[in-house]
Structure 1
Amino acid sequence: MNPRENVMAVYRGQQPDYYGDLMAAVEFIPDPFFVRDALLPQDGQEYQDSWGTVRVFLPGAPGPHPHITRDNVVITDIEKWEEQLTVPSLDNLDWSTARAAAAQIDRNEKLACFFYPGGLFERSHFLLGMEDALMAYLEYPDEMKALLRVIADHKMAYIRKVAAETQPDIIFYHDDWGTKQNLFLPPGVWREIIKPLQQEIADTIHDCGMIYMHHADCILEPIVSDLVEIGVDIWQGVIAQNDIVKIQAITQGKLAMVGGIDGPKIDVENITEEQIRAEVRRAVDSYCPGGRFYPSIPNGICFREWNNGIVMDELANYGREYARNNPVA
């Protein structure tokens, strides 16, 4: 099987040649907004994104981050959000690079993937600041519903534009809804404010003929049934702090998952090669029996090159051995 065929065999619950990271079988289509907003010089200077949020990319950091202060926050008063928010236009974006990249992907071999960060929750705390956003979800639910309605409408319009311009196989939607310990919001608040709009976003992705892959490298265990109801096809970023075996039982094979290898546990100094290989084998042995599972490091790689090389080598070898010795019924 080629990479696309193998990935889709796992996705359909069929026999693959090997178990490995789905992300190794995708090619990315560049997002004009992301290129403009997040591909910043690594100079520690402040840059404003399309929504007005100030970001910085510190030297040595893995990526740019919002740098929100009382002086530069976009929305200073949630009750006045309409007069303080400027929604970026979808007109006059340069799609030439994205179209060219999409045209060069051999879709017989790979899946075309459009990375779409800045989901509803993340965009809300980019606009308000994390502390004020969390308080607003609890104290001003009506205003937050109205704000997220506008953000969701923008996202759905953009998804339709993405489909028209490049027609990816996968929308890789990014919204971290929690930490390694719990959700950011109580499940009831998430269900009341975010879930209905996320359902509309999922429907839009599916109406455009694309797979909805949701990145959240955090605890989502309390809302996994909701993910299935919404229509999330693949959860990418499943950290081992979730009870993954329990989640597989709850979701009954309706949610494909990518992750399971405890990256921070093995991306450390003074660890042996065998300890790294044992963690890869643990993830494969624990989660692949549940089906529709792609063992991987949830955030993609170990940042230490030596550690990452061992992970990839063990995954390539043991993932193939496991598939050979444990055929799908």
Structure 2
Amino acid sequence: MLTKRENLLETIRGGKPDRFVNQYEAFDIIREDPYTLKYPDPNPGELDVKTGWGVTKTWPRDLPGAFPIHDEAHIVCKDIAAWKDYVKAPPAVYPEEAWEAAVRHAESVDRKEKFAMAFIAPGVFEQCHYLLEIQNCMMAFYEEPEAMHELIDYITDWEIQYAEQICKYMKPDGLFHHDDWGSQISTFISPEMFGEFYLPAYKKIYSCYRENGVELIVHHSDSYAATLVPYMIDMGIDIWQGVMTSNNIPELIQKYGPQISFMGGIDSASIDHPGWTKEEVRREVQRACRECGKLYFIPGASQGLPLSTFEGVYEATSEEIDAVSREMF
């Protein structure tokens, strides 16, 4: 029997997996890095938590994640043309002792069994609209493109500095990076605009991780982003996690399978809700696995961590993936 890590590699390389990769089973996600410890995201039910970038986030209970507050009092960057007056990056370099918890976690990972995964959230696009507010951010691409390029470069430079620290101390062999690039039915910006503004940033960031020993790059975007897959391949993503059913996943696998793999296929909203049932979970898992097949596909809910909004949903999904593996392999 293959280890969880071996089975994942067989799946994404078009080899001979002996079962479906079961959601996040091959990832040990490390979240004890100094930035995360100093500026933790809110937990469910926690309100008004400030990030290192000055963004105020809140997580009302029974919602799927934390979101920034964007009333006039809380928008960080009130004028993109003057972004340097508003946006101040947190430290990207920390003393060695600040990395001790992350190093202990990384060293505890059995790397024959799992990948030791660094974790970054939010990504470059999300950081932009966290700072600006989403509508202001969308308009700024048209009205102040030069300033947007400058802000993206500023965020990217911070990410690269921090990536170098992560790789120096934690020595991860995987990266799990968040950045939602669309709604359920469309990307937030056109593919052409994405290529202009964000492709160069991500090529720099993911190249930095590759050059520092990271073998596996997983990017989370629980959205429609099918039109961005060529850019994902170009920037070096191995697995797009969070891929929703609106993307026509079987078609993407057929077209791009050898170059990138797809993790998801089960929209969280379809199973992770009040009154969820095991029958719903079973139906969605069976559909996803039979539609998408054994290679270049990892079944799981679209949510961007190994958890669920409502208790028991994640575990029930894992049980059903194991069951369909026994049927199909």
Q: How does the TM-score come out when normalised to structure 2?
A: 0.91
User: Helix, strand or coil: the match of 1:82?
Assistant: helix
Q: Is the 8 A contact 1:273 1:310 kept in 2?
A: yes
Q: Is the 8 A contact 1:29 1:115 kept in 2?
A: yes
Give yes or no for the alignment of 1:11 onto 2:16: no
User: Helix, strand or coil: the match of 1:127?
Assistant: helix
Q: Which residue of 1 aligns with 2:228?
A: 223
Q: Is the 8 A contact 1:21 1:258 kept in 2?
A: no
Amino acid at match of 2:78: T
The Cα of 1:307 is off from its aligned counterpart by 4.7
Per-residue CA deviation, residues 50-97 of structure 1 (Å, 9 max, x unaligned), is 111112233444443211221232111111111222121123352111
User: Helix, strand or coil: the match of 2:148?
Assistant: helix
> d(CA) in 2 for partners of 1:318 and 1:233?
24
Q: Which residue of 2 aligns with 1:134?
A: 138
> d(CA) in 1 for partners of 2:27 and 2:183?
26
Q: Which residue of 1 aligns with 2:35?
A: 33
User: Helix, strand or coil: the match of 1:156?
Assistant: helix
Q: Is the 8 A contact 1:20 1:319 kept in 2?
A: no
> d(CA) in 2 for partners of 1:41 and 1:24?
23
Q: Which residue of 1 aligns with 2:3?
A: 2
Q: Is the 8 A contact 2:239 2:261 kept in 1?
A: yes
Amino acid at match of 1:4: R
Q: Is the 8 A contact 1:50 1:88 kept in 2?
A: yes
The Cα of 1:22 is off from its aligned counterpart by 4.6
The Cα of 1:304 is off from its aligned counterpart by 3.7
Q: Is the 8 A contact 2:219 2:237 kept in 1?
A: yes
Give yes or no for the alignment of 1:64 onto 2:66: yes
User: Helix, strand or coil: the match of 1:90?
Assistant: coil
Per-residue CA deviation, residues 274-306 of structure 1 (Å, 9 max, x unaligned), is 4432221111111125x2211111114554445
Q: Which residue of 2 aligns with 1:327?
A: none
The Cα of 1:28 is off from its aligned counterpart by 1.8
Which of the numbers 254, 257, 267 marks the counterpart of 1:249?
254
Q: Is the 8 A contact 1:19 1:320 kept in 2?
A: no
Q: In the comparison of the two structures, how many residue pairs are matched?
A: 322
Q: How does the TM-score come out when normalised to structure 1?
A: 0.91
Q: Is the 8 A contact 1:56 1:67 kept in 2?
A: yes
Which of the numbers 67, 74, 77 marks the counterpart of 1:75?
77
> d(CA) in 2 for partners of 1:270 and 1:166?
41
Give yes or no for the alignment of 1:144 onto 2:148: yes
Amino acid at match of 1:261: I
The Cα of 1:34 is off from its aligned counterpart by 2.3
> d(CA) in 1 for partners of 2:23 and 2:270?
21
> d(CA) in 2 for partners of 1:143 and 1:308?
42
Give yes or no for the alignment of 1:317 onto 2:323: yes
CA separation of 1:318 and 1:149: change in aligned 2, threshold 3 A: same
CA separation of 1:279 and 1:59: change in aligned 2, threshold 3 A: closer
Amino acid at match of 1:204: C
Amino acid at match of 1:76: K
Q: Is the 8 A contact 2:76 2:131 kept in 1?
A: yes
Give yes or no for the alignment of 1:120 onto 2:121: no
Q: Is the 8 A contact 2:257 2:296 kept in 1?
A: no
- Percent same amino acid among aligned pairs? 28
Amino acid at match of 2:322: A
User: Helix, strand or coil: the match of 1:95?
Assistant: helix
The Cα of 1:273 is off from its aligned counterpart by 4.1
Q: Is the 8 A contact 1:225 1:250 kept in 2?
A: no
Per-residue CA deviation, residues 152-199 of structure 1 (Å, 9 max, x unaligned), is 011111111101111111111110000101011122211111111111
Q: Which residue of 1 aligns with 2:202?
A: 198
> d(CA) in 1 for partners of 2:292 and 2:220?
18
